[in-house]
Amino acid sequence: MAEGAEADAPPVGEELHLPGASLVPILNALGLALILVGLAVGIVVSIAGAVLFVVTLVRWVRDTRRDIDELPLMHHSD
């Protein structure tokens, strides 16, 4: 095991935080894909994709900020 790997590991007994299951990243990618497809098909498809992309991006950022706020404070060794 590398020397620095032990320093990066969480303390024994501390739970790892994993985000919950979400369709938001998939819908965000779909919105981006619709924007690109809309360049060939028509502006309406691009606009729908842009709306989906922005809405899911805002939701994704908001969910991530909420998850970060729920994390325990960092452990400092003094």
Per-residue pLDDT of the chain (78 residues; tens, 9 = 90+): 555 556 666 666 666 667 778 899 999 999 999 999 999 999 999 999 999 999 999 999 999 888 888 777 764 455
Q: What is the DSSP letter of 71?
A: S
Helices 43-70 and 24-41, packing angle to 10 deg: 160
Q: Do 52 and 31 meet the contact criterion of CB atoms below 8 Å apart?
A: yes
Q: Supply the pLDDT for residue 7.
A: 61
